[in-house]
Amino acid sequence: MKQSKPIFRNDAVSPVVGVMLMLVVTIIIAAVVTAFAGGIVTSQKAAPTLTMNVKISNTGTWLGSGFFATVTGVSTPIPSSDIKIVTSWTATNLTYGNSTISGGAASLPGASNYNFHYNGGTPYIGIAPFAVGPGVGNNESYSQASLDANPTAPEQMLDQFFGNYSVMQGTNLFATPAGAGSMGIIGSNGASNAGGGYGVQGVTSFFNYQTDTIDNKNWVTGDIDPMQAVLGTNWYNLRAGDIVHVQVIHIPSGKVIFNKDVPVTEG
């Protein structure tokens, strides 16, 4: 008998190899996608926690009016360069027939928002809110009253500018009107209208905050003082009981880390 040779068929090998290659490619792609997604998650900064006691006052005079925030707790010190502060409010516009007016502002780290001339001279340029206490550098600390009395102070207080200090327990943030050392009625010549409060901005009187005087120191049209920088240009319409919504946003994570409705006080 003639012996027949075995016949080997290779047509089944190619599909098996193809399936294996597809599985390998799928596994590699899945690994790459997983690693990429994990990298995105880990690269995002976790948002810190922040608690503050916030006070906003309008006394009707330059003295005592302001935005004040004392940090009562943080999960870790927060560079102020990593946060922005946003305020918003609604009040009665007392200079235009008791209509409703809205206002507010966003304070950004490193972005000058305080631009104020005294007697038409070189403007003070800075970034509010300022800060004193823990987290602030070694420069001498200045209140707004001392800024009013010392024209060279802004150049000496860079550590107090928003964006240059860190926020930690005990840090005090503040922004006050440019005439904070005066008992004068807001929008008046302080020396001749001391103590009364709210006298300039009545229902029937028109008041231009930017073109009035403070203790005979003339504003320049368009000037912005620290109070305006943090609360907006029409903040002086706020009265006791009005609500200012205050948010602190952690820029790297995009998360709101402080969110509170703050009632305005008169002192």
Contact 175, 58 (CB under 8 A): no
Compute the average pLDDT of residues 161-174: 95
Read off the pTM: 0.75
Residue 226 preceded by cis peptide, ω within 30:
no
Compute the average pLDDT of residues 249-266: 96
Least confident of 26-40, 97-111, 202-216, 247-261: 202-216
User: Does the pLDDT value for residue 190 go beyond 70?
Assistant: no
Neighbours of 11 (CB within 10 A): 6
In terms of average pLDDT, the best of 39-53, 122-136, 239-253 is 239-253
Compute the average pLDDT of residues 151-175: 82
d(CA 83, CA 222): 27
CA dihedral 88, 105, 76, 110 (to 10 degrees): 180
Q: Answer left, alpha or beta for residue 25, where phi above 0 means left and psi between -120 and 50 means alpha.
A: alpha
d(CA 99, CA 209): 18
d(CA 118, CA 130): 19
- Looking at residue 76, what is its pLDDT? 96
